[in-house]
Amino acid sequence: MHRLNNKRILLGITGGIAAYKSAELVRHIRKAGADVHVVMTPAACEFITPLTLQALSGNPVHTTMLDPKAEAGMGHIELARWADVVLIAPASADFIARMAAGMGNDLLSTICLATKAPIYLAPAMNQGMWLDSATQKNCTTVMERGIKLFGPDEGYQACGDIGPGRMLDPDVILGCLVKYLESGLLAGKKVVITAGPTKEAIDPVRYISNHSSGKMGFALASAAAEAGATVTLIAGPVHLPTPDRVARVNVVTARDMHAAALEHTEGCDLFIGCAAVSDYRPESIAEAKIKKDPNNPEQALELKLVRNPDVLASVAAKDDRPFMVGFAAETHQVIEYAQNKLKHKNLDLIVANDVSDTTIGFNSDENAVTLVGPDFEEPLPKCSKWQLAGQLIDLIARYYNDIQQSSVQVQTQVQPSVTTEYSTDENTDHAPENPHS
């Protein structure tokens, strides 16, 4: 299973005989779906060659601070920003001491100072060095700064001693890493999200649109990628940067969005319709700019508008329909309208958004919503759209995973040979038990 899908792991290797195990660790991390950049101290290069790590990681290995070529490509600050996690395995007594002292005298130690990512150390050293009070004090110091230690293990050591100080086995280190990393709740899932407004042309210079900024949908795409999903973001015309690890498809009109959604939901597990799609478009687009009559100030302009396709309902009507989440932006009777939409659009969940409050929702950086399911409502109080997106993806993913699991149980318990959709009865049992856990 790809439990580290989309994660960026910076693996630091310091000088110790256990460095040979790091080669195996790189293989495990890549197999778990993560991207790895290896940074080696000069002492580490005495134990294992950078070439080995380059071949296994599929990325260039970084060894020196003052390499002008490396600094132009991916320098220490860029590496520090790139990493979701810094894992140092093996972490030697000397390296832990330098970290405890806050030193930045090689590439790896400067990255540790510069990064905001969590840092994990897998110590590896002779048992006497590990038990020495200086090492113990250094470990306490780094742990007080929030750095976590994996191990060390006890047993036979390369020097012939027996005792604590062995580096944990690579598969055990991988398990520790997975445990500490984010949920992975959508690992291996394909998620398609629509975001932003659409624009419907009236003539070559005018259009009908709405106030959607796209911020909520972009934040959801980012949170879904963080949770391990492969994300396609179908974006209306907005000037927002594409979130990391998200594939973006730009569209302008509702009909473009409709076509893109039908195309990209092939094999899709989860669809989130966050876009504010124009319900109507002008029946025809004037070929030239529509001119007003300067002699007739009373002149009215009549536009005939026709309905646009409903993107969400069309995806929900597909035979291989993904799990469907919609948004309901309402100014009154918010929950009631959302519940109706849930049924009429054949959705699994809907996010009810009160847009009568101008401090949240459209164009704002903050939002407050209620996640509505067939038999539950979960209010999510006002916070930044980025925080809210994380909470929503967490709740949606847990609910989705519950439904998938119960579907599998129904298949095996009731009629093993028949593909069984989850029944409506089953459906009622899946309000998230403790959505904040």
In the complex with ligand C5P, the residue whose CB is nearer, 110 or 194, is 194
Minimum CB–partner distance for residue 363 and ligand C5P (Å): 17
DSSP E strand stretches across 111-266? 119-123, 148-149, 153-156, 162-166, 190-195, 200-201, 207-208, 230-235, 246-250
Query: What length does the chain have?
Result: 437
Minimum CB–partner distance for residue 343 and ligand C5P (Å): 12
In the complex with ligand C5P, the residue whose CB is nearer, 87 or 220, is 220
Nearest to 425 by CA among 415, 410, 404: 410
Minimum CB–partner distance for residue 310 and ligand C5P (Å): 4
User: Hey, which residues does 40 pair with through a beta bridge?
Assistant: 13
Provide the sign of the torsion angle of the four alpha carbons 192, 196, 200, 204, taken in this order: negative
Minimum CB–partner distance for residue 359 and ligand C5P (Å): 21
Chain positions contacting ligand C5P, by CB under 6 A: 194, 254, 273, 275, 277, 279, 308, 310-312, 326-328, 341
Q: For residue 258, give the H/E element and its range.
A: helix 254-264
Minimum CB–partner distance for residue 25 and ligand C5P (Å): 43
Provide the sign of the torsion angle of the four alpha carbons 82, 84, 90, 93, taken in this order: positive
In the complex with ligand C5P, the residue whose CB is nearer, 114 or 249, is 249
Place of tokens 């110590």: 123
Max CA separation in the chain (angstroms): 101
From residue 168, how far is each of 60, 119, 160, 192, 362 by CA, in Å? 25, 16, 17, 39, 50
User: Hey, which residues does 191 pair with through a beta bridge?
Assistant: 231, 270
Residue nearest to ligand C5P (CB): 311
Strands 200-201 and 190-195: unpaired
In the complex with ligand C5P, the residue whose CB is nearer, 41 or 308, is 308
Annotated catalytic residue within 112, 159, 274, 383: 159
In the complex with ligand C5P, the residue whose CB is nearer, 170 or 273, is 273
The DSSP annotation for 35-59 comes to: EEEEEE-TTHHHHS-HHHHHHHHSS
Q: For residue 297, give the H/E element and its range.
A: none
Q: Report whether 221 contacts 243 (CB < 8 A).
A: yes
Q: Report whether 361 contacts 385 (CB < 8 A).
A: no
3 state DSSP class of 95: helix
From residue 60, how far is each of 38, 51, 71, 74, 106 by CA, in Å? 8, 9, 13, 10, 18
In the complex with ligand C5P, the residue whose CB is nearer, 283 or 293, is 283
Question: In the chain, count of helices (H) and strands (E)?
Answer: 16, 19
Minimum CB–partner distance for residue 190 and ligand C5P (Å): 18
Minimum CB–partner distance for residue 48 and ligand C5P (Å): 52
Q: Is-catalytic flag, 176?
A: no
In the complex with ligand C5P, the residue whose CB is nearer, 187 or 257, is 257
Minimum CB–partner distance for residue 227 and ligand C5P (Å): 20
In the complex with ligand C5P, the residue whose CB is nearer, 47 or 280, is 280
Catalytic residues: 159
